[in-house]
Amino acid sequence: MKKMILFAVLVMLALIGCSSKTDKYTKYENLQDNRKPISWGQDRVIYVFADDPVWKYAETPLRETLERYEFTSNNEQYFEVNRADIKNIDQFFRFRNLIFLCDLESNLPVAEYVKHVLPKEKLFEIQKNRVGVFKDQNMWANDQQVMFVGGDNLQDLLKITILQKQTIFKIFSDRLDARTAFHVYQMPVLSKEYFQDYPFTLKVPEQYRIYKNDPKGHFLSFLYRNLHESDDTPDKYISVYYDKMDTDQVTQDWLIKKRADFAWKYFDQDEFKMEDINISQVSFNNKTAWQISGRWQNKKYKIGGAFRSIAFWEPKQKTAYIRDSSVFFPAGEKLSYLLELQAISNSFQIKK
């Protein structure tokens, strides 16, 4: 029922809301190297090469950081970590995500391989600093992320693996975000005319149409929906809410209240429970921001899904913003769609 009502609203607003002009968003066009062979494997599977003594101690911190969960309708794992055998390296050259752990003191197979392929200046840097983390995009294949983590000895290698585990996660999550954005923006985006009544712009793919357009309420939302109305495809919402604010008073409580208010108002009584969300501080455009993410529900229609909201203060405009993404997809996992919406949300820009 909710889908049919929303679809009728969608069609009406699409007809009367804005023109159909589109533009091209080229920010991610140089991400790939088409001179290299196509990479294999899944975007969220990482293969790790490590000798037995290294793997014995490094497996736990690697899994803890890379296999962390996103709180959605179910707990969904960011990455899957699989150990690979260096004897089969020829079969893995073209896989999408690779990590090599190297103890320079060791003569075991993985260490010997890394010492053979890593440039001498990188090996010298590890010896000089006792540790080193190096990344290489598209090293052997197009759309590939390769990482080398090295230590002058086993103890230092394990220390850096633990101390830099957040950096390791960020390198692969940033690459995943960029890959996602690359695919999202293969299609043109909606014209800036869609944002003529607002103090910001987004690069929204042309498959989306306006869902709610309320300049007086400081709220704009776009919806992607498969026109065949299949339960195997998601509803994806990307929205922005803003308030004038002379000084930065954005807090987690402010975000929670404002998100609850506009979800109830604009999404026909969507709501969330405090026990169903995670709260954290994040960074957006080098600004400190608050984020809540988790599950939403709608008792009126007996449905639910996943959402992510990020709030921050923009000093040039003296305005607080909330960038919001939400997914309705009973048939499957939500994380990949939240990442798509995050890619769109990250295109946010204030008007000068």
**Where residue 141 sits, what CATH number does that domain have?**
3.30.379
Assess if residue 34 is contained within a domain.
no
Judgement on whether residues 255 and 127 belong to the same structural domain of the protein: no
Of the three residues 183, 216, 232, the one that is the final residue of a domain is 183
Assess if residue 279 is contained within a domain.
yes
Q: What is the pLDDT of residue 230?
A: 56
Of residues 334, 335, 282, the one with CA closest to residue 310: 282
252/258 Cα distance (integer angstroms): 10
Residues 6+ apart with CB under 8 A from 216: none
Name the phi and psi angles at 330, rounded to 5.
Answer: -60, -25
Judgement on whether residues 310 and 268 belong to the same structural domain of the protein: yes
- The SS3 of residue 173 is helix
Tokens of 35: 């001179």
* CATH code for position 301: 3.40.1000.10
- Residue ranges of the chain whose pLDDT lies below 50: 1-5, 7-20
Tokens of 171: 């390198």
Place of tokens 């440039």: 119
Of the three residues 167, 183, 199, the one that is the final residue of a domain is 183
Q: How many domains does the chain have?
A: 2
Judgement on whether residues 310 and 213 belong to the same structural domain of the protein: yes
Rg (CA), the chain: 23
Identity (one letter) of the amino acid at 141?
Answer: A
Q: What is the pLDDT of residue 31?
A: 85
91/94 Cα distance (integer angstroms): 7
34/120 Cα distance (integer angstroms): 27
Judgement on whether residues 231 and 291 belong to the same structural domain of the protein: yes
Judgement on whether residues 240 and 118 belong to the same structural domain of the protein: no
Assess if residue 290 is contained within a domain.
yes
Q: What is the pLDDT of residue 248?
A: 94
Cβ atoms of residues 58 and 99 within 8 Å = no
Of the three residues 127, 153, 183, the one that is the final residue of a domain is 183
Count of CB atoms within 10 A of residue 129's CB? 13
Judgement on whether residues 120 and 63 belong to the same structural domain of the protein: yes
Single pTM value for the model: 0.86
Q: What is the pLDDT of residue 21?
A: 59
- Which segments of 225-328 does DSSP mark as H helices, in order? 252-266
Assess if residue 32 is contained within a domain.
no
Tokens of 17: 């809301």
In order of 26, 89, 132, the CA distances from 142 in angstroms are 18, 17, 24
User: Can you say whether residue 302 is alpha, beta or left, with left for phi > 0 and alpha for psi between -120 and 50 degrees?
Assistant: left
Judgement on whether residues 173 and 261 belong to the same structural domain of the protein: no
Judgement on whether residues 290 and 227 belong to the same structural domain of the protein: yes
The DSSP code for 348 is: -
**Which domain covers residue 17, as residue numbers?**
2-27+191-350
Residue 240's H or E segment, with its range, is strand 235-244
57/331 Cα distance (integer angstroms): 38
Cβ atoms of residues 72 and 338 within 8 Å = yes
Judgement on whether residues 65 and 178 belong to the same structural domain of the protein: yes
Assess if residue 129 is contained within a domain.
yes
Cβ atoms of residues 43 and 176 within 8 Å = yes
